[in-house]
Every structure is written in C-alpha cells, then in structure tokens.
Chains A and B, each alone.
Chain A
C-alpha cells in the first residue's frame, strides 16, 4: 500500500468544519484514497473514497489535490458524535493484495462543545 501520513491528533469545535489532512506522496495513478473512522469501542466505518475528483456524500467531502499527493477529509459541521480516529488508506490497485486495507495509526479527532 502507498504510505500515508496523518497528524496524530486534531481538535475541532462543535458546529465548525473539521479538515483532516493526509499525505500520500507515493500514490500511483490508479490507486484510490479511502477514509475510514473508528468511534471508541466500535469497528471501523467506511466514510468515502476517491481517485482524482472531489467527492461528497452524506457523511463528508473528500478533496484530492491535482497532483494526488495529498487529500483532505472535510466534515462540514462536526458534532460530538464525530469524535473518533480517522484513517486515510491507499490500498494496492491490483495483484494479490487487491482489497487489502492497511490501517496506520490515524488521526484522533476530538470535537469539543
């Protein structure tokens, strides 16, 4: 998997946008960027993924830079329930490792009242 780098922790005020960065400078042209989160005592939860275009769903937006070396996950109006560990993952595009998710340590996002 392409190596990803995330800040270990971030804070955000409730109701404000949370912008979580991820560096993936060794990403290949056909590799996607995936984001998962893990709320305390729960299993990881898929959030969003993208290749080169910006993506948005009911949970979040994903902004990928033009050179694809970094991305930002945006939670537009963070709530206390968004407090979690956020993982940025770039899985291998093919071969025997296709589909394998390699989780790093992620970013601990704490949303404050």
Chain B
C-alpha cells in the first residue's frame, strides 16, 4: 500500500516568490493534515481537513498561506509571497476519521533565500 506522497521533496526559492506543495494521502483516508516543522522542533499543525472541509485552520497564517483539498483527496498548500522565515519542512499526514494514528509523508524542505 502506498504511503502519503508529497512533492516536491526539496524547493529553493527567492523571497517574495510564490510556492506550492502537493500531497496525496493514503487511499481512503478522509482526514488530511498539513504541518510545519522548523529545525530542531516538533511538527506544528497548520490546517486539518475532513474530506473537503477545513475544520481547523486556526494556526494557518492566512495573510500569505492558503490551502485547498478539492474532491476530498489531494491537497495543495501555497505560500504567496514567501518570506525568509518560511524556510522549514512542510509535512502532510492523513488518517481515518480524524484518528490519532496519523501517517506522514516525507515532507517538503523549503529554503527561502
């Protein structure tokens, strides 16, 4: 069974440029999460989807970050414009019915120069 797929694995952009990350969750998992992980820290939740609905986006900086999950499967996280402080690893995870057993992808390492 395929795990959570994320792309790209690495991305280097200049500040003020836009960037997008893509996630394909495990088949059948209706709950999808985006996490941010800074160096040396644990992951922090940005947004949680149940099917197509964003049910917890309280930690998402909405001035520059946006996310969507069309058709309740794949999801895209976008940053526009990127800032130097956005350099981090962006992790996608999925689970069944908002369960605490979450399955994580390998993450996208973003470097903003």
Contact = CB atoms under 8 A, between A and B. Distances in A.
A43 B107 contact: yes
A77 interface: no
Contacts of A91: 100
Contacts of A46: 101-103
Contacts of A96: 55-56
A46 B94 CA distance: 12
Interface stretch (A13-21, A22-30, A65-73, A98-106): A98-106
A99 B91 contact: no
Nearest to A97: B56
Interface residues of B, number: 24
B43 A44 contact: yes
Interface of A is mostly: loop
B42 A103 contact: yes
A101 B45 contact: yes
B48 A99 contact: yes
B104 A45 contact: yes
Contacts of A85: 42
Given A45-B104, A49-B101, A100 B56 contact: yes
A63 B95 CA distance: 25
Interface of B: 4, 31, 40-45, 48, 55-56, 91, 93, 95, 98-107
